[in-house]
Structure 1
Amino acid sequence: MVMAPLVLVVIVSFVLVSIAVRYGDDTVSDTYYKDSRLYHYSAEQDEQARALGLAGVLLFSPQDSTVSLDLRGNLTYPEKLLLTLSHPVEADLDEHVVLEQVSAGRYRGAVKAPMQHRWYLQVIPELNPEEFRRAQWRLKGEINFNLGNGVPLKPAEL
């Protein structure tokens, strides 16, 4: 009788710790770095995209699970681009899609992520997702599949 509350507290503690470890917060993945107690945002990639006049339109096709990108700007179009779909809440759902050039400024790729709800989008010319900070430029956007399947991409606003 005396030990029952103590045993209950220990059991509840183990359950809460296991929930905290399994469903912990995801980390922010962008060009932020910590300097003392201040956070700074690096906008070099966005400025470069703006200088090149880059813009694009992504069109998702849920029927065949593909995405196409129409890119325009003053650049030599790379053979491949990397599209990152970032879920706003669950990092486990994030996906990297390689977009291959089908014609000048037009790219296509296959998407495995569910085309529903809201996603953050980023296109870079670097194919290794771990090296996104080294990319020369980037375009960003946000899509809500409840509202449509197309979205414009542009450099992030400062």
Structure 2
Amino acid sequence: MSKHSSKPWYREFWVWLVLSPLILTVVVSFVMVSIAVRHADDTVSDTYYKDSRLYHFTADQDKRAKALGLAGMVRFARADNTITLELTGDLDYPQRLLLTLSHPVEADLDRHILLEQLSVGRYTGSVTGELKHRWYLRLMPELNPQEHQKAEWRLKGEINFDLGDSAPLNPAIQ
């Protein structure tokens, strides 16, 4: 009988010393791929041609808002999750407006808030969820977010809740 008994290959120290970095690399790669797939960024729209044609309609919305002299100031009260809007301009003020909060990165986090008229040029609404970080704002008289291109006018703005709770809204064309 020899002094060196033969062990199965999987019980050899050197085999695991060589294989362990390779196995670890494969496991980490699977984890990274699953994270990348689960939290993928929004992709380019498949309807980019149609979207580019709609740009002209939205530019007309901005021109119309500027011609009407529209401007607004939106204020968020985080204590009771209410929003107030002061709107000025030469128009027949609609009974309701749609305020869209667009997240800069995740389209799934976008919020559409219906604002009801309290008095001429003054609107209020409520928002759910925590308000923090930066958001893009869009105000328009069209109440269906999917048909935003049909709106007569629009105002845009940007708010960073880390810096304050109010933001001006103006036509995109200055």
Q: TM-score when scaled to structure 1?
A: 0.82
- Counterpart of 2:112 (choices 75, 84, 96) is 96
Question: What's the secondary structure of 1:46's corresponding residue?
Answer: helix
Unaligned stretches of 5+ residues in structure 1: none
- Counterpart of 1:34 (choices 48, 54, 69) is 48
Residue matched to 1:105: 121
Question: What's the secondary structure of 1:20's corresponding residue?
Answer: helix
- Counterpart of 2:97 (choices 61, 81, 84) is 81
User: Looking at CA atoms only, which structure, 1 or 2, has the larger radius of gyration?
Assistant: 2
Q: 1:26 Cα shift? A: 2.1
Q: 1:23 Cα shift? A: 0.8
Q: State whether residues 63 and 173 of structure 2, in contact with CA within 8 Å, keep that contact through their aligned partners in structure 1.
A: no
Pairs within 5 Å for 1:6-85: 14-27=30-43, 34-35=48-49, 41-42=55-56, 43-85=59-101
In 1, Cα distance between the equivalents of 2:140 and 2:44? 18
In 1, Cα distance between the equivalents of 2:26 and 2:44? 33
The residue identity in structure 1 corresponding to 2:62 is: D
Deviations 1:39-60 (A, max 9, x none): 6743111011111111100011
Identity across the alignment (%): 60
Q: 1:4 Cα shift? A: 8.4
Q: State whether residues 141 and 153 of structure 1, in contact with CA within 8 Å, keep that contact through their aligned partners in structure 2.
A: yes
Q: 1:92 Cα shift? A: 2.3
Q: Which moved more, 1:122-131 or 1:88-97?
A: 88-97
The residue identity in structure 1 corresponding to 2:36 is: A
Do structure 1's residue 141 and structure 2's residue 157 form an aligned pair? yes
In 2, Cα distance between the equivalents of 1:124 and 1:6? 56
Q: 1:85 Cα shift? A: 0.6
- Counterpart of 1:120 (choices 126, 136, 139) is 136
Unaligned stretches of 5+ residues in structure 2: 1-14
Do structure 1's residue 154 and structure 2's residue 134 form an aligned pair? no
The residue identity in structure 1 corresponding to 2:136 is: Y
Q: State whether residues 71 and 87 of structure 2, in contact with CA within 8 Å, keep that contact through their aligned partners in structure 1.
A: yes
Q: Normalized per residue, which structure has more strand? A: 1
Q: Which runs of 4+ in 1 moved over 6 A?
A: 3-10
